[in-house]
A and B are shown apart, each in its own frame.
Chain A
Amino acid sequence: AQKVTQAQTEISVVEKEDVTLDCVYETRDTTYYLFWYKQPPSGELVFLIRRNSFDEQNEISGRYSWNFQKSTSSFNFTITASQVVDSAVYFCALSDYKLSFGAGTTVTVRA
Chain B
Amino acid sequence: DGGITQSPKYLFRKEGQNVTLSCEQNLNHDAMYWYRQDPGQGLRLIYYSQIVNDFQKGDIAEGYSVSREKKESFPLTVTSAQKNPTAFYLCASSKFRDRELGNTEAFFGQGTRLTVV
A contact set with B: CB distance below 8 Å: 6, 31-33, 35, 42-47, 50, 52-53, 91, 93, 95-104
Contact = CB atoms under 8 A, between A and B. Distances in A.
Interface of B: 31, 33, 35, 41-43, 45, 48, 50, 56, 58, 88, 90, 92, 94, 97, 100-111, 113
A103 B41 contact: yes
B101 A31 contact: yes
B25 to A, nearest CB: 14
Chain B contact surface mostly: strand
Contacts of A32: 101-102
Given A102-B42, A104-B42, 10 more contacts: A6-B42, A32-B101, A35-B105, A42-B110, A43-B90, A44-B111, A50-B105, A91-B43, A99-B45, A100-B45
